[in-house]
Amino acid sequence: MNTILVVGLVFIVGIFLFIGYLISIYNGIIRLANIYKNSFSQIDVQLQRRFELIPNLVETAKKYMEHEKETLEAVILARNQAHSAAQALKADPSNAGAAKTFNKTEGALGASMGSFMALFENYPDLKANENIKALMEELTSTENKVSFSRQNYNDSVMTYNIGIQQFPQSIIANMFQYRDVPQLEVEDVKMREAVKVQF
């Protein structure tokens, strides 16, 4: 009689512990999913910030670079296109065409920003100018913030993916339909390189 009671008690305690364990796994998955979702919105915030900053920067640069109107106008054009593409994507995130246009215009903006920064190489005097230096710093930082927010998103997606692929998390993840999330890719690696500023 006593043994049955003990075995039964141990069994019940075991079941409780097991359920607690399952719950903690489930909560862990939710935490990881929240982190990556949160870092996605950060990209959005940084892109928005960049859209707001670019016209100001170009306006300032105009004062010093009268002859480079073309490049400056190209930057503004690319900015406006990327901006409207971003708006279109935001309105309908599931639209594959909008996503493609967004990636393309994003790439074009990055490239034109790259050539904008390369312009300063032609003006050695300008590079020593305090205002230009501050401007370059602002540009570098902005581009960094955009790419770091993407990187942070990819890192957290990776942590999440690994988290739900491991055993036994994978079983719970499958049960609640938590699937792998693809990482963001930059279309052209060279384009990314072009944006890097050398001091």
* Nearest-angstrom CA–CA distance, 44 and 86: 9
Cα angle at 185 between 149 and 56, to 5 degrees? Answer: 50
Q: How far is the CB of 21 from another protein (least distance, A)?
A: 18
Contact between 152 and another protein per CB under 8 A: yes
Q: Pick out residues in 153-192 that bind another protein (CB under 8 A).
A: 155-156
Going residue by residue from 84 to 113, which x/- string records binding to another protein, judged by CB under 8 A? ---x--------------------------
Rounded to a whole number of angstroms, the minimum distance from the CB of residue 182 to another protein is: 19
Report how many residues bind another protein under the rule CB under 8 A: 36
For residue 46, give the H/E element and its range. Answer: helix 2-64
131: nearest Cα among 60, 67, 59: 60
Q: How many helices (H) and strands (E) does the chain have?
A: 7, 0
Distance separating alpha carbons of residues 195 and 110, to the nearest angstrom: 7
Cβ distance to another protein smaller for residue 34 or 165:
34
44 binds another protein (CB under 8 A): yes
Contact between 50 and another protein per CB under 8 A? no
Rg (CA), the chain: 25
Task: Write down the H helix ranges in 65-93.
Answer: 69-91
Contact set for another protein, span 55-74 (CB under 8 A): 56, 60
Identified binder of another protein from the candidate list 42, 71, 81, 103, rule CB under 8 A: 42
Nearer to another protein, 7 or 137 (CB): 137
Q: Looking at 34, 122, 165, 183, which residue binds another protein (CB under 8 A)? A: 34
* Closest by CA position to 164, among listed 35, 41, 42: 35
Cα 15 to Cα 2, 3, 18, distances in angstroms = 20, 18, 5
- Integer CA distances (angstroms), 36 to 13, 93, 165, 180, in order: 35, 17, 16, 12
Q: Tell me how far, at minimum, the Cβ of 179 lies from another protein, in Å.
A: 17
User: Which residues contact another protein by CB under 8 A?
Assistant: 30, 34-35, 38-39, 41-42, 44-46, 49, 52-53, 56, 60, 87, 128-131, 133-135, 137-138, 140-141, 144-145, 148-149, 151-152, 155-156, 199
